[in-house]
Amino acid sequence: MVGASTNPVSPSLFVATYFGGRGRRVIPINPTRVGETLLGEPVLASIRDIPPNVRIDMLDVFRKSDAVPGIVDEALAHLAPGLKCVWMQYGVRHEAAAEKARAQGLVVVQDRCPKVEHMRLLGGPNLAGIGGVRVSSKNPGNR
């Protein structure tokens, strides 16, 4: 998870905790949080710091759209051939980077939350108390 945070009110922490609680290993990446741990995993500075023996299926991006090309380039260089999907969170889109990832055979999802989609596919967000309201990672004052 690129842009993972240990901040207790961070949307990235909610998503990491959700998937970690369902048996998924979450590798947190955030250069400003190196030295901290998240769900028992050390926070890494970059994708390059993921050990080569660790297989990453999905890369969840909690960064601004302008950071996506570099993230995709780093992922293609260091996570192939195991990487299957690049998932960009709400408000995050970059068509050129998405096309580059698709050209390498990856599934790309933009402007969606995997936690919300997972809950929807398993019976609907209402089960999680979301009530069908669109969830955003943006500060309400910045919309």
27, 56 contact by CB (below 8 A): yes
* Token pair of 1 as six digits: 């998870």
What are the residue boundaries of the structural domains of the chain, listed by start?
A: 11-133
Short-list 59, 74, 56, CA closest to 110: 59
How do residues 49-86 score in pLDDT, each as one tens digit?
999 999 999 999 999 999 999 999 999 999 988 999 99
CATH of 11-133 among 3.90.1150.10, 3.40.50.720, 3.40.50.12280, 2.60.40.10: 3.40.50.720
Residue 30, phi-psi category: left (phi > 0), alpha (psi -120 to 50), beta (remainder): beta
Q: What is the pTM of this model?
A: 0.83
How do residues 5-29 score in pLDDT, each as one tens digit?
999 999 999 999 999 999 999 999 9
Asked if pLDDT for residue 143 goes beyond 50, the answer is no
For residue 137, what pLDDT is reported? 58
